[in-house]
Amino acid sequence: MIRACTVDELPPGESVRVPGPPAIAVFHTEEGELYAIGDTCSHQDASLADGWLEGCFVECPLHAALFDLRTGMPTCLPAKDPVPTYAVVVDEGVIYVQGVAGEDAA
Amino acid sequence: MKRIAVVGASLAGVRAAQELRAQGYDGGIVLIGSEPHLPYDRPPLSKGFLAGTASRESLDLLDAGDLASLALDFRLGVEATALDPAERRVRLSDGTSVHADGVVIATGGRARTLPGFEGAFVLRTVDDALALRAALVPGVRVAIVGAGFIGAEVASTCRSLGLDVVVLEALAAPLAPVLGPALAEVCARLHVDHGTDLRCGVQVTGLAPAGVSLASGSVVPADVVVTGVGMTPATEWLAGSGLKVGNGVHTDAGLVTSLPQVVAVGDVARFAGRRHEHWTNASEQAPVAVANLLAGHTARTYTPSGYVWSDQYSGRLQLAGHPRPDDTLSFVDGDPSSSSFVATFTRDGSTTGVFALNNAKLFNRLRRQALGRPEFQPAVQG
């Protein structure tokens, strides 16, 4: 597990980039859900944590590809490939990301 | 419609073909491209691809799955030479022609050249990029005419390759007619901070044996000369078609030409009196133009977002909206001397544009909140 931040540090509507590799973007939706996906847009190098969060979708800040936070799948061009998704757990007010490749080496 | 010809196989043409399928059209699509290559993306041509860090494959707009699912009839390496609406034909440079019930004009344009600069490098196609890349060997001195986005990006890439670069700009500051004086100074600073010799207010007269001749009589020494002075829309082939052309193909608010079965998209489309030479515009126009083509009339209108970006040196510049250079500029975060800032343009109390240097997050927030998402408006009938 990788520690992202505390729940207090990530209010609804906000996102945070957890440096990698791989870099991960954690989102707290307005509806109160927490999601973690690969931070790098699958189209061209851009940080999805910088993107515009709307519902459970994030729009890439560079070329406006839209990704579904639940599946990592792009819903429109120019992105065509999914970004990885990760499970998120909250323990004693701290947000952790699970299943990150390479975490054993970290 | 049984068959639609898309003339132009770059981003706008490809997006149009994709939208035709996405909107349920299952007839034939002929995709005509003057270059011999399958469709590719152009933004990396002045950046990663020119530097040699982005592969040729990474430019491809369509993968094998796309090619199979779109079922396009490619005519590559041939130019459209005429549009004959009465016969419903597009005539091609190899002597053949394509019969089509509908036509999407997506011919873009070609790099503008300057008199006296015949033989200088330009950068619009992948072949242009390959030729320029081959010339950027260690030790060459590069002169770039024009400090717009292409000129600045090529200068940045050349500096990253360790080359000496001089940029010759006719304006008093780069991009000043678009961004206004304060942001033009920021663009100038990016050049200077990264060791590029930016000379503004300079009139060039032509290639000299040893570089670039200036109106002042002096010569700027250079081994490689690149002109980045905009583009000319490719409309010559439409002479005699009856379509109104002149700095682009004139369209209505829904990208429909004077013929309901002919629409125009991308750099070549002169929509509401002006053309928008941007990647995002080419991508965003396709759904509207295709919907109107399939409807047979202007059912939807297009609202340009005005979104452009440019990667120069250590800076990622982003602009959205349609500001005028004399709009009021306010710094929301940082200031013009910062390595990262966001500024808004306002006029009569309304936000007309958002600009950012290295601050994508706040840029997007303001872009969505202050400018709103472009809406596709139903056309007013009548």
- pLDDT per residue over B321-363, tens digit each? 999 999 999 999 999 999 999 999 999 999 999 999 999 999 9
pLDDT exceeds 90 at position B366? yes
Q: Is the pLDDT of residue A106 over 90?
A: no
Give the single-character DSSP code of B62.
Answer: -
Nearest-angstrom CA–CA distance, B300 and B225:
44
Beta strands per DSSP E along B45-96 = 72-76, 80-84, 89-92
CB A11 within 8 A of CB A33: no
Mean pLDDT of chain B: 95
Contacts of range B315-318, beta carbons closer than 8 Å, 24 or more positions apart: B315/B190, B315/B339, B315/B357, B315/B358, B316/B356, B316/B357, B316/B358, B316/B360, B317/B187, B317/B355, B317/B356, B317/B357, B318/A61, B318/B354, B318/B355, B318/B356, B318/B360, B318/B363
Give the nearest chain B residue to A17 (CA atoms).
B361
Contact B361 A62 (CB under 8 A): no
Residues 6+ apart with CB under 8 A from B348: none
* Residue in A closest to B363 by C-alpha: A61
Q: Alpha helices of B161-198 — where are they, by DSSP H? A: 176-179, 181-193
DSSP state string for B216-271 = TS-EEE-SEEEE---EEE--GGGTTSS--BSSSEEE-TTSB-SSTTEEE-GGGEEE
Pairs across A and B, CB distance < 8 A: 31
Q: How far is CA B106 from the centre of its chain?
A: 12
Which residues of chain A make contact with B367, given a CB cutoff of 8 A? 52
Query: Across the interface, do B364 and A63 touch by the CB < 8 Å criterion?
Result: no
Interface confidence: ipTM more than 0.95: no
Spatial CA neighbour of A35 closest among A20, A24, A21, A45 = A24
Model pLDDT, residue B140: 98
The residue of B361, B362, B363, B376 whose CB has the most chain A CBs within 10 angstroms, and thus the best one to mutate to test that interface, is: B361
The Cβ of residue B106 has, within 10 Å, a number of other Cβ atoms equal to 33
- pLDDT interval class at B382 (50, 70, 90): very low
Under an 8 A CB cutoff, do A47 and B364 touch?
Answer: no
Q: Over the stretch B131-171, which tens digit does the pLDDT of each residue have?
A: 999 999 999 999 999 999 999 999 999 999 999 999 999 99
Mutate to test the interface with A, among B47, B280, B364 (most CBs of A within 10 A): B364
Gap from A50 CA to chain B (nearest CA, Å): 4
**Residue of chain B minimizing CA distance to A43:** B58
All residues of chain A having their beta carbon less than 8 Å from the beta carbon of residue B307 are 64
pLDDT at position B372 is: 63
Q: Does B283 touch chain A (CB under 8 A)?
A: yes
Lowest average pLDDT, out of B34-38, B142-146, B373-377, goes to B373-377
Out of B18, B66, B360, closest to residue A61 by CB: B360
Q: Average pLDDT for residues B203-210, to the nearest whole number? A: 96
Question: A37 by DSSP, 3-state: which?
Answer: strand
Q: Among the ranges B36-40, B54-58, B312-316, which has the highest mean pLDDT value?
A: B36-40
